[in-house]
Structure 1
Amino acid sequence: MNAPFSHIAWVAIGELSDIPIRGARCVVTPMGKIGIFRTAENHVYAIEDHCPHKGGPLTQGIVHGASVTCPLHNWVIDLETGQALGADEGAVKTLPIRLDGSVIELGLDSALLAENG
């Protein structure tokens, strides 16, 4: 479900050490609030920071495996696909993310960045 950006602009958003293991941080982008999640295995994911159910802040949820549980109504969201798991239906957008050494870089649509200066 990664956004099909025509051109990706990689933006440094912090260090891996800024996010605790099994934790998250929220970054504000021209696309809205994006949650950056770190698993126990040190994998990093980026998804929209709102649950598809009632908009709960996913960055305040519990990270387990490659999923996060929404703090409002316990929906579980897959960090790789953005899909709700179990009997729940819905999804959030995922964004490309990479590590350059210990620096976390978020992939944003370069056209959107240009529009928002």
Structure 2
Amino acid sequence: MNWIAIGTINDIPLRGARCVKTPQGKIGVFRTAENEVYAIEDHCPHKGGPLTQGIVHGASVTCPLHNWVISLETGKALGADEGAVRTIPIRNIDGQLSIALESVLVAAE
């Protein structure tokens, strides 16, 4: 995989997110209260709302537009809602975060 450095875990507040702009689109990088990090496409499958502006709770994020809840682990909408966003491989090595951009390239083709 082609790992791209995107910063440190301390760049993202607990229960917060940051948007990473890539040539293939915006990727949301999320940090949970338990210090876990996840990366998913930064748009809700419902109406395209910016998930990085939503509220992180547990391993989920609530879209700021219409309150859809998206799993950070699977990218799938939870509850009665249907839809999903692509998850992006992310790694945390001693606080240094990297995403696997190659998987985004393959998925975007």
Moved over 6 A (4+): none
**1:15-39 deviation per Cα after TM superposition (whole angstroms, max 9, x unaligned):** 1000000000000112200000000
For this pair of structures, how many residues does the alignment match? 106
Q: Match for residue 96 of structure 2?
A: 103
Structure 1 length-normalised TM: 0.87
Q: Distance in 2 between matches of 1:84 and 1:65?
A: 14
**1:39-95 deviation per Cα after TM superposition (whole angstroms, max 9, x unaligned):** 000000000000000000000000000000000000000000000000000000000
**Residue segments in structure 1 that go unaligned for 5+ positions in a row:** 1-7, 113-117
RMSD: 1.6
Larger gyration radius, structure 1 or structure 2: 1
Structure 1 residues 110 and 63: alpha-carbon distance in aligned structure 2, compared to 1, 3 A threshold: closer
Structure 1 residues 67 and 12: alpha-carbon distance in aligned structure 2, compared to 1, 3 A threshold: same
Q: For 2:28, give the aligned amino acid.
A: G
**Residue segments in structure 2 that go unaligned for 5+ positions in a row:** none
Structure 1 residues 105 and 111: alpha-carbon distance in aligned structure 2, compared to 1, 3 A threshold: closer
Contact 2:5/2:99 (8 A) holds in 1: yes
Structure 1 residues 111 and 99: alpha-carbon distance in aligned structure 2, compared to 1, 3 A threshold: closer
Give the fraction of aligned pairs with identical amino acids, expressed as a percent: 75
Structure 2 length-normalised TM: 0.93
